A and B are shown apart, each in its own frame.
Chain A
Amino acid sequence: MVKPAVLFFFFILFFISGWMLNSSVSNIKGSVQLQAMENQKLSEEGKTIIALKDKWESKVQLKQTIKKLRTFPKLTINTKRGSRYALQYSQLNPDELNKLTNELFNSSCIIKVYELKRIDVSHATVYVEIES
């Protein structure tokens, strides 16, 4: 037989324990939800960073771009200064200029210097420096 006072004490004890356990469950549940959200955000940011790095910091991409630009006609200067590649094209007609510009713009290399000089109405010289 248990007295009501003892039962009441146990009830209070049980209530407090239950409340503490419930708080613990809520806390850990909240932590889990937060962690899941953080992971999702981290995953998305990781993808964005990787995509941006692949686009702007990829050595492979840069080499491919340089390779293409070097094969482009009317290349008069082709040097490497430190971490920069310097390329100059002379006597480009409007069609060639367009092709070169498109090639340059579609690549994801980092253009540091761009200079265009018109020689006459239909010819121009283009000088570019690309950072590796």
Chain B
Amino acid sequence: MSNYTLFSSTILSLLQKMQKHYKVVRRKNRQLCVIGIDESHLLREGSKKIDLILLPSLYWIKKIALPVLKNSDAQTLAPSIFDGLIPPDEKYDYVAYPSQNGKFILIAFSKTRIRQSIIDAGIDPKNIGDIFFAQSEFSPLNDPINFGGKKVILVDDGVVFYLPSCYVEKNSNWNTIRKNFHSSFNTYPYHFFEDHSMDASSLKITYLIAGAIIAVFLTQITLFKQIYDQLQEEKNSILSANHLPSSTLLIQNIKESLLKKESQQNTLRESIHYLQSFPFQHKSLQLLSSDNERIESISIRDEHIDIVFILQSDKRAEAIRNYLSKRFKIESIVAKGTRTTVRASLW
């Protein structure tokens, strides 16, 4: 398990090193520029892409000991620490860097001010690569640095200051240290300084659209509710007009009972008609003479049919059974002389 942990941490550190190396190589070809309020100094020429270092004139810095361990926690506390110390007329965002002895360097900056400085310096935001705070880039330096202007970068107790050069006796020119200068990895992309907040008009439009969509839904619900209520009323009127019970099951029972009644009465009528027009002359019945053969009686009572035939011989009974069984369920057939009595169920 420990071998596995060691292996994965080695791979991870290797990947991080590769990533850093890639960034260093990528940055080597870029222009490097420091910008402050109403000033910018090109430190290195290169490709179209520009890396920017923001001078301390663009933001507020405070070094403070805080009872927290993480930068993010310190960043959370930053607004209350700066409260009352910096002009309240601007909207600020905050970053935090670790310093010596458990202290943190807190930076309060205005995104609008930084964007404006970038525009004033004539830099197209599309060409910006990485953006650094001077605090993270120059804090390791010992001597004041002059970029060629009337001000110098001075590091005192880990805090980077940007002062008029007359305040220091001796300063180094940027060109003397540029070979040993490597930018850090505390970078921010340009969109970090963009304002992602929506203005009041866009917000109003959004609210209007959302409100309109909700209104459409609510209107639909109200309309459908009205239609549903109308249909309920219609249902009640159908029930009362047809004298129907409210239960669907009861309605089905009534319908089935009536249909059964109709079916039975139709069957009864068809059976009577069938028997009254009994085909004695039919070939399959092999009638000898219709004059002496007839239906003596038909009686339909309690779901049964009793038919009495007068036939010339007993053999005729079988032919009659065969013929009647095609239509009725024969229950019994009794032949006595010329009289044959057939009992069948009606349904």
Contact = CB atoms under 8 A, between A and B. Distances in A.
Interface of A: 1-4, 7, 14, 17-18, 21-22, 24-25, 28-29, 31-32, 35-36, 38-39, 42-43, 45-50, 52-53, 55-57, 97, 101, 104-105, 108, 110-118, 121
Contacts of A50: 242
Interface string B198-241: 11100100000010011001101100110110011011001101
Interface string B287-303: 00001001111111100
Contacts of A110: 261, 265
Given A42-B238, A43-B238, A49 B210 contact: no
B228 A35 contact: yes
Given A18-B214, A49-B255, A114-B298, A2 B235 contact: no
B11 interface: no
Contact of B297 (A14, A31, A56, A116): A116
B121 interface: no
Contacts of A43: 238
Interface stretch (B53-61, B68-76, B177-185, B266-274): B266-274
B187 to A, nearest CB: 21
A39 B300 contact: no
5 contacts: A1-B195, A24-B221, A49-B254, A52-B255, A111-B269
Contacts of A14: 210
A28 B225 CA distance: 7
A28 B217 CA distance: 12
Given A21-B218, A105-B273, A113-B299, 12 more contacts: A1-B195, A18-B214, A22-B217, A25-B224, A36-B231, A39-B235, A46-B241, A52-B255, A104-B269, A110-B265, A116-B297, A118-B297
Interface in B88-130: 91
B275 to A, nearest CB: 8
Contact of A4 (B197, B231, B298): B197
A18 B213 contact: yes
A56 B299 CA distance: 22
B12 interface: no
Main secondary structure of the interface of A (DSSP, over half): helix
A47 B242 CA distance: 7
Contacts of A48: 255
B213 A4 contact: no
Contacts of A18: 213-214, 217
B228 A31 contact: yes
Interface of B: 91, 195-200, 203, 210, 213-214, 217-218, 220-221, 224-225, 227-228, 231-232, 234-235, 238-239, 241-242, 244, 251, 254-255, 258-259, 261-262, 265, 268-269, 272-273, 276, 291, 294-301
Contact of A38 (B235, B244, B276): B235
Nearest to B202: A2
What 8 A-B pairs have minimum CB-CB distances, sorted nearest first?
Answer: A46-B242, A52-B258, A21-B217, A1-B197, A35-B231, A28-B224, A114-B300, A116-B298
Contacts of B269: 104-105, 111
B231 A39 contact: yes
A68 B319 CA distance: 39
A111 B268 contact: yes
Contact of A56 (B197, B255, B265): B265
Contacts of B259: 52
Nearest to A43: B238
A18 B266 CA distance: 59
Contacts of B295: 116, 118
B262 A32 contact: no
A3 B221 CA distance: 33
B296 A117 contact: yes
B258 A56 contact: yes
Scoring B195, B269, B273 by chain A CB atoms within 10 A of each residue's CB, the highest score goes to B269
Given A28-B221, A28-B228, A49 B242 contact: yes
B272 A25 contact: no
A36 B225 CA distance: 13
B291 A121 contact: yes
Nearest to B200: A1
A46 B237 CA distance: 11
A95 B116 CA distance: 117
A114 B221 contact: no
